[in-house]
Every structure is written in C-alpha cells, then in structure tokens.
Chain A
Amino acid sequence: MKDFIIPWGDDRDMGTPAKKGAPVSLMIDGFEVTVPEGTSVMRAAAIAGIQVPKLCASDNLEAFGSCRLCVVEIEGRRGTPASCTTPVAPGMVVRTQSEQVKKIRKGVMELYISDHPLDCLTCSANGDCELQDMAGVVGLRDQRFAAPEGGMRTHFATRDTSGQENPEYTPKDTSNPYFTYDPAKCIVCNRCVRACEEVQGTFALTIEGRGFESRVSAGGVGDDFLSSDCVSCGACVQACPTATLQEKSVIELGTPTRSVITTCAYCGVGCSFKAEMNGDELVRMTPYKHGAANRGHSCVKGRFAYGYATHADRILSPMIRASIDQPWREVSWEEALGFAAERMRGIQAKYGRKSVGVITSSRCTNEETYLVQKLARAVFLNNNTDTCARVCHSPTGYGLGQTFGTSAGTQNFDSVAHADVVVVIGANPTDGHPVFASRLKKRLRAGAKLIVIDPRRIDLVKTPHIAAAHHLALRPGTNVALVTAMAHVIVTETLYDADFIKQRCDWDEFQEYAEFVSDVRHSPEMTEMLTGVSAEELRAAARLYATGGNGAIYYGLGVTEHSQGSTTVMGIANLAMLTGNIGREGVGVNPLRGQNNVQGSCDMGSFPHELPGYRHVKHADVRAIFESAWGVEIDPEPGLRIPNMLDAAADGRFKGLYCQGEDILQSDPDTHHVAAGLAAMECVIVHDLFLNETANYAHVFLPGSTFLEKDGTFTNAERRINRVRKVMAPRNGYADWEITQMLANAMLKAEHRPLWHYTHPAQIMDEIAATTPGFANVDYAMLEEKGSVQWPCNDANPEGSPIMHVDGFVRGKGRFIVTEYIATEERTGPRFPLLLTTGRILSQYNVGAQTRRTQNTIWHAEDVLEIHPHDAEVRGVKEGDWVKLASRSGETSLRAHLTTRVSPGVVYTTFHHPTTQANVITTDFSDWATNCPEYKVTAVQVGLSNGPTDWQESYEAQARLSRRILPAAE
C-alpha cells in the first residue's frame, strides 16, 4: 500500500480562523464567493483561491492586523483596510491587487527588509521563510533605505561600524534543547506570542520594549526560554514566519523535502503529525492542522522527543541466553525465534497449556496487539493475555461498560469547546495530556467554569488567565465518598434532570439509587471528616455541575488506580446520568487515556476474559466467530491477569511469558513481587526497543520497531482510529507485527499447524473488521479517505461515532449503580503516617524508556518527592535533601522538593526513572473489580537519608550484570 503523502498545498494557511454563521456572498477580484458571516476578507479570498500577501496572520490565531501587508481595496470604503481584520459584508466588492495596494505592499516589505539581515542563502529558514516568500510575491527588487556612508549600526550586527561591541545586538538564545531564538531575524509579527497565548495557553512570551527596540521575550527580565514558563510545545516555532524561532534539527539537517502524516506514539490524545523528511532521515515532527484530535497543536513530547528512535541504547539484533545470570548473546532472528518457540513449547508440554501467556502493549498498534492476543488464543491455546491497561484504565472499561454499555469515553475532543462546566477528577492534563489541556484552557478562558478534584494543586487550579471555581483537595483514597456526596447534593436538592432519567434510564433503579445517596451519611457534612473537603465547597461544586449548563467530566488515573477505582468510575457515570450530561456535544464522561493505544489494546481483546470488542470468552457464539476465522478451538475459561500470572509464577504454575512493549518491572506495583515472579519463569521473551528493566529477567530479547518504522493504527482516548504510517525502514529489520507472526509461525511450524500469512497490517485490520462489530466498516482505504474515524463504525454508524449514547445508551437503559464507600486497607498509622500518591510530569512519559533517552531530561532529570513544608520541617528535611521513602512494601530514596502543591499529610512523586523505582514502594492492593493496582494511595514514612538505599544499589548491580552483551560471534 502506498504511503499517503500529502501535497504541500493541501494544508495552506487560510489567514484567519474559520467562523460559523449565516452565508454571506461577496465579490473578490471579480469572483463571487460565499462564506459564513464573520469570516475575514482574507479568508474569503483564500477560499476563492486567492492568497492575499500576509505576515502577521495565521489561521490558528485571531487576526492581529499589524503587518499591513494584506491591505486590499473595498468599493465604497475609504483607504485600504487590512483584509485580515475586515469581516466580509453582503455584496462587498474587493480588489486584492490594485496599483495602490501593490505600491503599499512593496513599501511595507521594503521597510521590513531594511531592518532584516540578508543572509538568506545560509539562513536556516531558507526555502521555508514567509518573509522571503512575501518579498517575492510583492516583487521587491530594491530597498532604498541604504545606510549612510561609513555604515550604520543595526540590531543584527554583532559589532557596530567602529568595530565595537554592538549594544543593540542580542545573541541567539539556545537554552531550549530543541529550538533557538534568534532576535536578529525577528520581524515582531507577534505570531509566537499569540500562539503561546491563544493556542497553547501558557502566556510565556511577550514583546518587550517598543518601537525599534521591540523584541520577543520569554518570561521576565533575565529569563531565557529555558528559565521562562515555556513548556516547549513548539507552537511559537510553528507560528514563526522566519528563522527567529527555529528547530535545531532543521538548522542541523536542512529543510525537509517531503512529509508523511502519522500519529504520535506518546499519550492517549493521539495527535496527528507530519513527519517531515529528507530521504529516510526525520528532520522534524510538526503537528498536522487537519488532525482531528489536536487541530494543529502539539506538546514537547510529540513535537520534539523522538530522538529515542535513533538512540545508541536501542537494541537492533535479537539476543538469547540460557539463564538470566548469563550475558546476552546476539543471534540471528531464526535462532532467537527457534529458541523461544522451543522453550515455550517445552514449557507447555511439561507444565500444561496454561503455563504460558502474553502481555500486549498499549504502545503498539491495534494490528500488533490483535496479533499478540491471537498468539495466546490461537497458538498457545489459552486466554492468558493481559495488557498494561490492567494497571491504568481497566476500571474505566468495567465501570462504563456496566453503566453505559461501552468501555470508552463518550465524546470527541472537539466537544470540550462546547462545555460550560468542566470537572477534572484525578487527572493532570497540563502534564499528562497537554494538547487536550490547551484545548480545555482555551474554552476556560472563553468563560467555562472549572472544578478540580485532586489531592494536589495541579497547574489548572491556577494558571495565567485560568482559575478553578472550586478545587476539592480530597484526601487520597476517598474518591467514592466525595463523588457520592456530590450525588447526595444533586438528589437531595432536586437538581437532577428527571426527564432525562425517566427517558434514558431505569426509573426504579434510579429510585433505589436516590434513596441510597440521600442517606445523611453521604451528605457533604458527614463526609467532610473523611475527605477533608469542606462541605460548603463541595455543595457549591455539585450545584455548579448540576446547574451550570453543559457539564463535562474528564478523569484520569487518580480515579481508577484505587481499590475502589471501578466504583468511582460508576459514581462519575451516575453524576452524568443524574444531570443529563450525556449524549450531546459539550458534556459526557471522558477518561483521559494514558498511552497512545491503551484504548485500542483494550478494544483488541487483550484482556483474559474478553475477545476483541469486549465480548466475554464464555459466550460460545462469540468464540465461534473467532474459531471459524482462526481455525482453532478457543478456551472458554478466562485466562490469567498480570498479577495472577506473577502469583502463579511464584507458585511454579506459570513459566513462560511473551511481553511486548511494556516494562512491567518498572510500571507495575510492588517491584519485589514482580521481580520474584519474573525470576521464577523459565522463558521470558521481551520484545522492546531497549533493554528495559523487565529484560533483566528475560531469556529472549526481540528488538522492536518504533512508530516511525511501521504501518498500523492507534486508537486514542476519543475512540479515534488514526493511521500510523511507516516513514522509514525498521532499523531492527522487522515491524513488530512481523516479529509476532514469525514467533507464532515458529511454534505453528513445529506443531505442523497452518501458518499465519499476513503481508500488511491492512489485512489484519480486515480480519478485525470481519470479527468485531464496532470495527465492521473500518478499513485502510476508508482511513486514507477520511483521515480518521471514531468507533463504532459499522452499518449503523457508517461515518463513525464522534459522540456516543446520543439517542439512548448502548446497553439500552442507563444503569445507576449504588456506590458504597469502603476505605482502602492501606491506611496510615504511626509507622507510615503520610500518604504517597504518584503521577507524571510533562516532559517525561510513563516509565521514561523513550523520554529519558531524549533531551527532555533537561526538565526532569530525576524523580523528586513533593512534600509539604510542614511535613518536611518536623522531619528536618530541607529543599533538595536526599530522603528515604519507605512503605510496608519497600523503600527507596530520592531528593525532596518542598511545595504547598501537596496538602500536609500527602507526598507525591513520579515514576519515570528506574533509579528511583517508585513502585518498590507501592503495594499490591488493587481495584476490587479489575485488579487495577492502587498506585495512588500508599502509606509511607519519609526521613533524611545519605543517598541511594541498599536495595537501589543491589538493583543497579543486578541490572548492570544482566545487561552484559557478548560480542557477536563471527
């Protein structure tokens, strides 16, 4: 299948944003054009195919009208108005090219050029410079503002005419690892400042000074880009028409010559990017403006942190070893796969069919995940398949499945632009889902209200031009009590939407639920002692959500990763049903998915009890579909979940594991337990880019391919199936789906069973569509045509489903479920008086395997422990001190950071670095329904320490020993 290469002209800049309104017709250069009311003359001209010259306008920013290059003549109006700031009017007659405007434009360009260095041939923006383009368009051939004899000082010469240091010259700011700011090239069009404000919403940039002294400035006096509030999202670099803000990669590698649309492999937002290439070298990643999830925006990870793909640590040859105390031996693919197949078969022969299993990856494509679970079901002939969603959003799947009937979010991301009240629960979008956060902040600046429910004061609570109406800083582990108390307020104050409930839900079930939540023990006044949230504040928040218009709930792992994670998800669903906030734009219940394809990996049947499409393996009719497609008999018994696999391994009943693109040792809770389980296995096959922590316990290492090296699809948090396109050949030789197929075939061949014969992921998608109702109409041809589609996409929803449950719930009637609060077993006491909660940070991603191998480490080189100054003071801990963090499970040490972001009694850290291994602290308590680990609540003690703990040192030593690789045999 051909790669989809878009022509450059396809995403041209229309000058000003699209508007919605009644149609207005006007004449531009003799052509009639009809556009929505409120559209600028510039955009109307662009729609008619006429590009009015411009410098300060861009269609992702509101018109600014400063460059004066886009002037036009309008019949009956005096002067030459700027086309970007002039809205269309019915019957308007516009001339974009008259003698008068041509002269004005040339004069304007002449002034720009008089104050701009003319080193175009060696400039990094050569060929990609709008100033250059516009000089060409207006036909500038000369500039009359010559310096007087003897020369003249300019702002872009390092020395003045007498050879002295030029005080007006400001050197390049190279502090950001990914782009430079060169004031010499700046034309002060304000696009970067406006992009930072309007698109990203960080307000890190400004124009300092005035007149000739005007310069872009990051932060205040003495700041550079790195020390400013800049989050390195790249919006300013994208907006810059010249070389002023320029990617370092372009400076080094030159301007790209072709581009391929693909999907980011970081978080669950699933941004579309253009991979801009020279040959097979990636020059830069730029956000694709027609990407439906990101609408042309990006964050530091997707935009810049792709360097891991070519990092020296990447393993490119398969490796094997007989036991984990030996060094690795590089071998051929054939030998590695033969070794793996033989061992897995041997284990099954000796310990039984169910003694082996797989873990699918939320970072790989749908097609790859589908194949891995198929490997378990059709080759291993058991249901021992699980995925990292187990440890993040499995409660979402269960909770929303039970209440609404689908295991996914209800909205698309565009929906947030129509929300009036946004509730963010246990999520930190500005760090975890930055592009969604920018879209949310845009809506909040336009007037929507925000309620934050989180133990920490996350950035959204107060950030320039955004302030939460309510921040309910609850005690970790009390989500259910708080959500039920909100329902109590809504029910007892009769703020619920009775019509919606009668129409869409079961009224009797509601009655029962209403009676339950109305009990006085669920009142905010009673739960205040438990949650630490003031009753008055909670009541106000509940009233706002119930009565403030479109109410949208966005939640993250702070909801799911608890012993009552599934209960909280149901509680959230209850709130949405109570208030009728389901089934239209601007409302809904939306899990913010952690990884790029965690939605997809769940959809693809990665769970031990579900075949693709969330259908239980106990149903014979469902099994029959796959049995006929795969030609095998499928085990009707659910298989093992990850924690069960590890328990069974410790008991000697589970001996072989194929783990694709996941680092369970670092990411799963209670590291000691995971390590013991892995060490007890006889064949651990790790399929990854790097020798990750799990690989320390592996016998076979299969090198993986990056998202740049393969075709496939990712499904993001809004159920959007996005294409991933191969932009370069896999450096390891094979795409991951090919490797899984080779492993399957190595086993099938030995067993004289029919082999798999996929030659392209499109064929795998066809198989998925043929077997899974929600994907019935999905194929690659459709994705080429539409760009992306949101499941369900079948005969009932041929165009896909941006918003779900529009006319009724998927399960029929929405189901209210009683949500009784049961405190976690993990409690603070004299030995462990503090509560640890964990999370992530903007610049790092998950276990950090990718981002730690990029320059993102400049922002976050190590995990630190956030601790309230009061808690720090009684322990004698000062800023930057090494502290020991201990729980019932284990201990580690890291540096302390004193902050009031966390409440007294709560400490917080991230889990991005294996040297800290925050998960050695976390316990094996988990969600009652899905076993999702309780990462968010661990009772801990913090004390001063001298450095790494004994455990950290012995772990380091073991890891070093385990990572030895013998030189390849000749």
Chain B
Amino acid sequence: MTNPAPVAAPARLAEIEAIIAAHLWREGPLLPILHDVQAAFGFIPSDAHAPIAAALNISRAELHGVLSFYHDFRDAPAGKHVLKICRAEACQAMGGAAMSQAVLDTLGLDWNQTTRDGRVTVEPVYCLGLCACAPAAMVDGKLKGRATAQTILAELSA
C-alpha cells in the first residue's frame, strides 16, 4: 500500500462529494468518509472540510475535533512509504529506542518527518499489538516483528 498520486483540486472536489454521497445513509458516516478521503488522496485536504461539515450538518469545530483526535488522519500528504515504529513499553524493553534512533539517524529525520525526496515518513506508534515479537514496526501497513534497523531500511528501499 503506497500513497495515491496527487489529484488536482477541482477533480478532487467532485471525488470528495462522491465519497460523501456514498456514505450519507450510514448512521455514523463521518469516520468512513474520512477513511475513504484519506484512501483516495493520501490525506484529508482542507478543501474537504467544508463539504463534509455541510453534508453531515456538523460544525467545523466538531470536524476538527475528530480529525485532530486520530493521528492517522493527515492534513498533508505523507512520504511514499510510511514507517511506524512502536515506542510503547514492551518494544522499548526489547531495544526499540536504539533501533528507532538508528533508523531516524540513517534517514536524517526526527519523528513525524518526511525525507526531502518525499520517499519516507517516520511516525511513532504506541503499541501495534505485537509485543511478543518486540520491537515492532509497520511499513506501509505491513507489520514487522523483531524489527532491526537493517530489516526496516531494507524494506523501505525495496
């Protein structure tokens, strides 16, 4: 799963409207809409806010509350690959901190940053539910157990 190609704004609006229309019948349509918008564009463009709020008849504050609550909803496109490294207790106990630092140093990034060439975004995550195989990471939605800096970097350059 890599990120979708950028879409021009006018075409994007039509697509956003189509996504909204597809979910309006649901009882709780907001999250499915946001998921689909992010799946379509790789992030939630700000020009999607007004149509979503209008269609669901919610305020822009309410939408902002939901968007900012879920870290996975992005307000800008991520890099081509998204790497999430677990920073929770079990992974830290199994050397996760050193492993993640090595990855960040190699890529020249801090947490939540994207390489200049737009290839990789690194994000922290708190528990992937893979404690038995700590330290754990996730590359483009694929789980990696017993991760090392080498295996992760190899995966990213693949």
Contacts and interface: CB of A to CB of B under 8 A. Distances in A.
Interface of A: 202-210, 217-221, 223, 228-229, 462-467
A203 B61 contact: yes
Given A207-B65, A210-B69, A221-B75, A465 B60 contact: no
B105 interface: no
Interface in B66-85: 68-69, 71, 75
A253 B49 CA distance: 41
Contact of B64 (A202, A220, A462, A465): A220
Given A217-B64, A221-B75, A204 B69 contact: no
A208 B64 contact: yes
Contact of B60 (A229, A462, A466, A467): A229
Nearest to A209: B68
A208 B75 CA distance: 14
B57 A465 contact: yes
A465 B63 CA distance: 13
Contacts of A204: 59, 61
B87 to A, nearest CB: 13
Contacts of B61: 203-206, 217-220, 223, 228-229
A209 B66 CA distance: 8
Contact of A464 (B62, B64, B69): B62
12 contacts: A203-B58, A208-B64, A208-B68, A210-B69, A218-B61, A220-B63, A221-B64, A463-B57, A464-B53, A464-B57, A464-B59, A466-B57
B62 A203 contact: yes
Contacts of B151: none
Contacts of B75: 221
Given A203-B59, A465-B58, 16 more contacts: A202-B59, A203-B61, A206-B59, A206-B62, A206-B65, A207-B69, A218-B61, A219-B64, A220-B60, A220-B63, A229-B59, A229-B60, A463-B57, A464-B53, A465-B57, A466-B57
B46 interface: yes
Nearest to A462: B57
A430 to B, nearest CB: 14
Contacts of A463: 57
A220 B46 CA distance: 10
Nearest to B69: A210
A221 B49 CA distance: 11
B24 to A, nearest CB: 13
Q: Which of B65, B71, B75 has the most CB atoms of chain A within a 10 A radius of its CB?
A: B65
Nearest to B53: A464
B54 to A, nearest CB: 8
Q: Which of A203, A207, A467 has the most CB atoms of chain B within a 10 A radius of its CB?
A: A203
Given A220-B49, A221-B46, A221-B75, A208 B65 contact: yes
Interface of B: 46, 49, 53, 57-65, 68-69, 71, 75
Nearest to B66: A206
Contacts of B63: 220
What are the 3 closest A-B residue pairs judged by CB atoms, nearest first? A206-B65, A203-B59, A220-B64
A467 B57 contact: yes
A201 to B, nearest CB: 10
A235 to B, nearest CB: 14
Contacts of A217: 61, 64-65, 68
A208 B60 CA distance: 12
A54 to B, nearest CB: 23
Contacts of B60: 219-220, 223, 229
A388 to B, nearest CB: 37
Contacts of A228: 61
Nearest to B126: A211
A462 to B, nearest CB: 7
B20 to A, nearest CB: 16
B69 A209 contact: yes
Contacts of A206: 59, 61-62, 64-65
A208 B71 CA distance: 11
A217 B53 CA distance: 16
Nearest to B75: A221
A466 B58 CA distance: 9
Contacts of A207: 65, 69
Nearest to A207: B65
A210 B68 CA distance: 8
Contacts of B65: 206-208, 217
Contacts of A202: 59
A467 B64 CA distance: 21
Contacts of B64: 206, 208, 217, 219-221
A219 B63 CA distance: 9
Contacts of B62: 203, 206, 464
Q: Which of B59, B61, B68, B69 has the most CB atoms of chain A within a 10 A radius of its CB?
A: B61
A205 B65 CA distance: 9
Contacts of A220: 49, 60-61, 63-64
Nearest to B64: A220
Nearest to A219: B61
A218 B60 CA distance: 9
Q: Which of B57, B59, B65, B71 has the most CB atoms of chain A within a 10 A radius of its CB?
A: B59
Contacts of B58: 203, 464-465
A399 B20 CA distance: 48
B67 to A, nearest CB: 8
A579 B63 CA distance: 41
B88 to A, nearest CB: 13
A721 B121 CA distance: 66
Contacts of A467: 57
Q: Which of A217, A220, A462 has the most CB atoms of chain B within a 10 A radius of its CB?
A: A220
A659 B57 CA distance: 47
B66 to A, nearest CB: 8
A205 B58 CA distance: 12
A205 B75 CA distance: 20
B52 to A, nearest CB: 11
A502 B30 CA distance: 51
Contacts of A223: 60-61
A220 B63 CA distance: 8
Contacts of B69: 207-210
Contacts of B49: 220
B72 to A, nearest CB: 12
Contacts of B53: 464
Contacts of A229: 59-61
B69 to A, nearest CB: 5
A185 B75 CA distance: 28
B101 to A, nearest CB: 20
A223 B60 CA distance: 10
A229 B46 CA distance: 17
B28 to A, nearest CB: 14
A204 B68 CA distance: 15
A866 B153 CA distance: 60
A113 to B, nearest CB: 26
Q: Which of B49, B57, B60, B69 has the most CB atoms of chain A within a 10 A radius of its CB?
A: B60
A206 B61 CA distance: 6
A464 B55 CA distance: 10
Nearest to A222: B46
A209 B53 CA distance: 19
Contacts of B59: 202-204, 206, 229, 464
A467 B60 CA distance: 16
A359 to B, nearest CB: 43
A465 B58 CA distance: 6
B45 to A, nearest CB: 12
Contacts of A221: 46, 64, 75
A20 B59 CA distance: 31
A463 B69 CA distance: 23
Q: Which of A202, A204, A205, A464 has the most CB atoms of chain B within a 10 A radius of its CB?
A: A464
Contacts of B71: 210
Nearest to A205: B61
Nearest to B46: A221
A465 B57 CA distance: 6
B74 to A, nearest CB: 13
A229 B58 CA distance: 12
